[in-house]
Every structure is written in C-alpha cells, then in structure tokens.
Structure 1
Amino acid sequence: MSSPSLSVVMPTYDAADYIERSLESILHQSFDDFELIIVDDGSTDGTIDLIEKRDDERIRLVERENESGITSALNRGINESHGKYIARHDADDWSAPERFDRQVTYLDTHSDVALLGTGAHLVDEDGKRIAKRRVLEDPEVGDLINHNEFIHGSVMMRRDPPTDLGGYDERFMTAEDYDLWLRLADQYSVANIDEPLYYFRQHDESIYGSNLKMLKLYHVLATRRVKDGFDKELYAAITTDDPKRAIEMFTTEERTWFHTELARESIRYGNLSSGREHVREAIRLNPTDLTLPAMLLLTYTTPKIASVVVDTYRKVINAKISVANRSG
C-alpha cells in the first residue's frame, strides 16, 4: 500500500463531547488521500470508543497510558506519519470540507512555502459562530514577534522543515506551536490562506484563562530564542513556577507587552479587575501609549460593554489585515 499524501495529526484527551463532529469534518473532506493519526493520552470519558466505532482504514489510533502532554503527543504523531504533508487538527474543532484540498493544492504549487495556515470562524462552546479571525497571507518572522499569525489547528506543513528543526520543543508546556512557527519563519517562507476554512472553538475563561499567564511567559521565551538563542535561565524560572522571577528577567519592552496582553485577554473574558491591574502596570512602564488609558477606562465598565468593544476591536484588526493582504 502506497503512502498517503497527507498525514493529519490529532492529539486527544477526554474529548468525547466534541470529537464526533471533528471526525466527521475530517473523514468527509473533498481531498481523501490522507491518514488520520490520533494520539490519545489516556482518555477515560469514552473518547476511545467514539474513535474505534469509526470503520475507516484511514484512522490510526495510538494509545498512551499516561498523560504526557500535547507537545510530546504531536511529535509522536509526526513520527508515526507517512505523508509528505502534515496537517494539524484539534479534537474540539472542525474543518470546512474543502480545507485539505485547498492547502494541498497551495503547497503543491508553492514549493518554497514550509508552513501554511488558514483563517477561521471562532465558535463558542455550543458551536455557534461568534467572530471571524483573518490572517496575514505572507507573514514574516517580524510579524510573528508580537502576535501569533497562525491558528494551530489550521496549519499544514511539509514534512522535512519541522523535522529538520527538531519538531515541537517538548520543553514548552504551552505555546509549543508559536515556538515552532517562529523557528520555521526564521528559515523558510510561511503563508496563510485568508479564508475561514477552520472552525476554532473558544472555551470559557475558566478553561483558557487559568493558563494565560504561562502562555505569555512561554511566548517571551520563544521570541527570545529566535532573536538570541534559547534562554536557559528564563526557562528555569518559568518551569520552577516562579513567574515573578521570570518577569523580573524581562526587558521593559517585554514586560510592557506581557502586561498589555494579559490586560487585553482579561478584558476579553470579562475579568475586568484583573485587566485593570495589568493595564495599570503597562501604563507605568509605557506612559506614552495612548491606547492604554482607553483600555483602563474599559475596565470600569461592565463585561457586556467590554465584550462589545472587544468585538469592534476585532473587526478593526480584521479590516487592517484585509488591507495588508491586498497591498501585499
């Protein structure tokens, strides 16, 4: 049997509430020359049963008894794969039927591109559309320094570039995708299809917000790595669960970015008191940024008002991306 053109890698852990829709969207793609490699980290909620009831020879299930984390699961999936292209897909998201076909066609005709993402519809816990995420079509490493221009579950990669770079770095407990994108963009061309070919489920603050600070700490570690090499001292501070010491090691620019990002995300999830704390610190560090006082005022409103402003801000960002893509 010949190797498939595409390998789809999906890590799972207790994904029974969402995985059926995800599997449906993959198995009914218009492009069907693929294998789906699912790496499960010891699910106990019936996820395995839902996977095994799918009578489809394209599915390969790798079961690991002990939860080892998403980063090692991703590398295991890549190591098990046979395709010349590798696509990512999360168990709680789903893809448009033409997604794989569009990405494979693009990579077949753009031999210089190592990494290709897409835009996305953002959906809530129930799968209802809440917003659209546009993406830069031709981002460079400089565009990625302050903002992740790729939606992890939407990406497709050529096999060799990430493998040559050592794959996902298993030292990263989060932001492992962002670290890899930066390393790829530093050495190869990367791109996006600015169309919503992926449906990205946004979980509530209790799930996402608890990891937010750690995500931003690893973000700084990744940006430092692409600029100056891996910072072992900063990594040690992060992994010993000492965020205060890690933040003290930041430059003023990094500290300002860190608190501004935490303020934005806190406001987005309705945690206005936390947002207020972080935006005040950002103002202290960078008093000339006139957007920060506006953010501070927003923290004295209500979560509903803040949500409306955040949605408006997202539309403005999307409009700017659209203009940048047209001018590029």
Structure 2
Amino acid sequence: MTSKFTLLSDVHLRSSVDTVIAMAVYAGDKSVWVEEAVNSLVCQTYENHIIVIVIDGYVHDEILTQLLNVSRLLDNILLVRGDANRGLSACMNFVVNWSLSNVAGVKYFCRMDADDISAPQRIEKQVSFLETHPKISILGCGLFEVNEQGEIVGHRKLPQKHGEIIRYLPKRCSINHPTVAIRMNVFKRGFRYRENLMNTQDYFFWADLAAAGFKFANLSDELLKFRRVNDFYKRRGLSKSINEFKARFYTMKVLKRYSFGNILYAFVVLTMRLMPGRIVKLAYKLDRYLLNKKVVHD
C-alpha cells in the first residue's frame, strides 16, 4: 500500500537552512511529553534548521490541536499527517524525500522522538562536529535516561570512535537512533529505512550503512533525555525481540563478524527478552552497567 502524507502547514525555507529535524507522533504519545519534545527543538541554539513533525495516523485531539497551534506560530515547523499508522520508517523516509526535493541547501538529517527532550545545544554541537569531521556520516551522542516525571534514572555511555562502534554493533545498537544526525549524502546515495519493519529499523539501517563503508561517531556529551517509562521493559514484545535477534545475525553477516561470543550473546539476549519483566529489567541494568564500564572516552 502506498503511503499518503498531507501537509497541514507551510514552512519558511530560508536560504541558510541546512538541517532538517524529523519527529513522528503516534496515538500512544502523551501530549505533555510531545509538548516538551517540541519545545526542546524550538529552543535549540542552532537556528539554520526546520522541524518536520509527522502525525502517523490517528492522534488524540489534544495533541493535534497542540501541534497545529505551534506550527501556526512558528514558520520553521512543517506539520504533516499520514492517512494511517505507517510506522516510523515510512514517516522518516517521507521527511527525507520531501527534504531532498524541497530544501535546496539541506546537508543534515536529525532524529528526535516525541517523548524525549533534546538539550538546547544538541543540534549546534552535532552540526559543528560534522562540519569539522567530513569523513563522519552518522553521528550520535550520549543520553540520560529519565522516568515519567523527567527525573534522571540512568545514562548511556557509548563508544565514540568508528572502530569501536562497529565492534560493538553485532551485539548491541551502538548508535542511539533518537540522537543521530546523518549527512544527507547518505540518502542521496539511495539508502532508506526499511518500511516493512515496524521496529528495530535503525539496527538494520546501521548495519547497511556500515557495510557500505560509511563512518560513524558518537559525541560523549549527553545531549538527549530518553524517556524510560514504567512499562519500558515489557514493551519489547515477541516481535521486537525476534527482530533484534535477526538484526544481530544480519549485522554479523554483512560486516563479516561471526564469532562464538557474538552468536552466544544473540541467543542469550533473545532468551532474556522473553522472561518476566522484572528479569528483563535486571538484565537491562546489568547490560548497561557492563557497557558503561567497558567504554572508554578520551
């Protein structure tokens, strides 16, 4: 089925615009979190950007009204509505294709989720890094994990350099999707998110880009607050767990990184994912603790 998207607002495309920030909103999102997410983008210190918010099918009237109001007030927000819930991949691919067709000077594509909060200097720091490191095409950053009240409950320390990111990739997604800034040249070469996947699309995407020779990096700065809600450990579900398992083996295949340790890790994680929530929670915390201990920042 062909995805159909309708523009609900106009956006002022200044000649200086070089960055597009893309966010999708779903029926399950909370209006207060969406407001916080949008406000964090509106308050960015970097000004040469536009924000494209895709409403992925039905959302509650409160969220729709909220988004319509902010898009009318600000001329750098484009509001788009999908005719049905198509999933994150379809929404992001629409933003990519629209940007390539309509934003003449676009250089960077940045991600954001509707329940997270970006630090004010996030986009400025990522654009500055990409401007001075032309070999890097995909740039992530560290993040704080916050609970439903916005209180910090943890953080993710990720490898910074390409070699370490690729070494970790067969075991875990070593680039946080909501934090990434991607060069538009990646998409100009024809790469897109897989629309047949309703989850784990980023993991497969990173594997494809790594296999194609693109270079990755992570800033050590924790520039995003990632929402870890009470049912976070239960939301994985069978479908996501199986897709993560497949993504790990796909990554091993395309990067030629089959090893006993990588294969064992894939099976152990799949087994743990299918256990009760309290076990998954303990395993998640242990995995994060070990990763934070292993990763060394300069």
Partner of 1:32: 47
- Aligned-pair Cα RMSD in Å: 2.6
Contact 1:216/1:258 (8 A) holds in 2: no
Q: Which has the larger radius of gyration?
A: 1
Partner of 2:207: 182
* TM-score, normalised via structure 2 length: 0.81
Q: Which gives a bigger RCO, structure 1 or 2 (Cα 8 Å, sep 6+)?
A: 2
AA at the equivalent of 1:159: M
* TM-score, normalised via structure 1 length: 0.74
Contact 2:233/2:277 (8 A) holds in 1: no
Contact 1:22/1:91 (8 A) holds in 2: yes
Contact 1:184/1:190 (8 A) holds in 2: no
Structure 2 residue ranges without an equivalent (≥5)? 1-13
Measured in 2, the distance between the counterparts of 1:132 and 1:267 equals 24
Deviation at 1:42, TM superposition (A): 2.2
Does 2:175 match 1:150? Answer: yes
AA at the equivalent of 2:91: A
Partner of 2:219: 193
Matched residue SS, 2:241: helix
Deviation at 1:203, TM superposition (A): 2.4
Structure 1 residue ranges without an equivalent (≥5)? 230-250, 276-305
Matched residue SS, 1:53: helix
Deviations 1:68-103 (CA, angstroms, capped at 9, x unpaired) = 111111111111223210000001001111100100
State how many pairs are aligned: 268
Deviation at 1:124, TM superposition (A): 1.0
Partner of 2:57: 42
Contact 2:19/2:110 (8 A) holds in 1: yes
- Larger helix fraction of residues: 1
Partner of 2:294: 320
Measured in 2, the distance between the counterparts of 1:160 and 1:200 equals 27
Partner of 2:94: 76
Instruction: Percent identity, please.
Output: 24
AA at the equivalent of 1:70: L
Partner of 1:127: 150
Measured in 2, the distance between the counterparts of 1:4 and 1:12 equals 23
- In the superposition, relative to structure 1, how do residues 3 and 268 fare at CA in structure 2: closer, same or farther (>3 Å)? farther
Measured in 1, the distance between the counterparts of 2:185 and 2:291 equals 33
- In the superposition, relative to structure 1, how do residues 254 and 319 fare at CA in structure 2: closer, same or farther (>3 Å)? closer
Select the residue among 15, 35, 38 that pairs with 1:2. Answer: 15
Measured in 1, the distance between the counterparts of 2:287 and 2:251 equals 29
Does 2:279 match 1:222? Answer: no
Matches for 1:39-118 after TM superposition, within 5 Å? 39-45=54-60, 46-54=62-70, 55-81=73-99, 82=103, 83-118=106-141
Contact 2:92/2:193 (8 A) holds in 1: yes
Matched residue SS, 2:86: coil
Does 2:29 match 1:13? Answer: no
AA at the equivalent of 1:130: V
Deviations 1:266-302 (CA, angstroms, capped at 9, x unpaired) = 67941x4xx6xxxxxxxxxxxxxxxxxxxxxxxxxxx
